[in-house]
Amino acid sequence: MSETIEAPAEQAERTQQPRTYLMCRPEHFTVSYSINPWMHPDDPTDTQRAVSQWQKLYDAYRALGHKIELIEPQPGLPDMVYTANGGFVIDGIAYPPKFRHAERQGEETFFTEWFRDRGYEVVEPKTTNEGEGDFLLAGEVILAGRGFRSSDESHRELADIFGREVVSLTLVDPRFYHLDTALSVLDPVVAPGAEPTIAYLPGAFDEASRRILAERFPSAIRVADADGSVFGLNSASDGRNVFISPRATGFEAQLAERGYTPVTIDLSELLLGGGGIKCCTLELRGAGA
């Protein structure tokens, strides 16, 4: 009689899902103001270095078969490289940002026009929200960060626009001011009702949010403080390849144990602005008409 031995879950074969991302070359990147604890305008930045590090991320995405769209960088808007904040897009519907800080509000029209010109259905935001920096699609639900940038009202707006359940999560550590600095969705596409694997830094959330995460995502990867504090969670995943910081060595090992393929890209220069891989990557779900 033959016996079937089930492979342990962590040995699972991971399937890559081709993605389309919006990126912005950091030609005007610098740190000239401070709106998060990582930004120190008195410390020097090297724009050329930022561009070449960014280029490696761009090349890695392309080499693995992803489609990259670009938005023109604008002088005087040094944070435009962080396109995750440029909106939130599902099924060709784009919800542009309304930034909390005046320093970034000039970006709003450029992102909005970019979506319009490409035929996305643009729904004008009524309240403060910072796009995919704070909103992450996890299976059928939208996880939404609050506490530092996006407003509570934006969570309700999101639910109305996209007709999905929005799960609000409260961030409590100023170093992790956007949801995408503390939580990463590793499976961009899952079967209906299936639990996507997520990874998160428990200490970045309040007690109630930690409880919600534990209940809804029992198989989540909990990341150590050492990995979280080097922006290890600010990563992009295609379901198989996970693009992460080379400094997050513990997280890298956890990913490998679960059958993912970590791809390390160093964006140390962009970390001076308080951003990493995910911040430079906006997922475009459903092309414009």
Question: Does residue number 186 form part of the binding site for ligand ARG (CB under 6 A)?
Answer: no
Question: Does residue number 85 form part of the binding site for ligand ARG (CB under 6 A)?
Answer: yes
Element (H, E) at 285: none
* Active-site residue, from 28, 66, 178, 280: 178
Question: Does residue number 162 form part of the binding site for ligand ARG (CB under 6 A)?
Answer: no
**From 96, 188, 274, 288, residue interacting with ligand ARG (rule: CB under 6 A):** 274
Residues in region 29-48 near ligand ARG by CB under 6 A: 35-36, 39
Q: Coil, helix or strand for 141?
A: strand
Q: Identify which of residues 32 and 48 has a Cβ nearer to ligand ARG in the complex.
A: 32
Q: Verify whether residue 40 is a known catalytic residue.
A: no
| Range in contact with ligand ARG (rule: CB under 6 A) among 79-87, 156-164, 200-208, 244-252 | 79-87
Provide Rg for the chain, Cα atoms: 18
Element (H, E) at 198: strand 198-200
Question: Does residue number 79 form part of the binding site for ligand ARG (CB under 6 A)?
Answer: yes
Q: Verify whether residue 279 is a known catalytic residue.
A: yes
Q: Coil, helix or strand for 208?
A: helix
As to burial, measured by CB atoms within 10 angstroms (0-12 exposed, 13-18 middle, 19+ buried), residue 73 is middle
**From 273, 277, 283, 284, residue interacting with ligand ARG (rule: CB under 6 A):** 273
Is residue 143 within 8 A of residue 165, CB to CB? The reply is no
Q: Identify which of residues 93 and 136 has a Cβ nearer to ligand ARG in the complex.
A: 136
Beta bridge partners of residue 94, listed in sequence order: 89, 122
| Residue 123: closest CA among 151, 153, 158, 150 | 158
Catalytically annotated residues: 178, 279
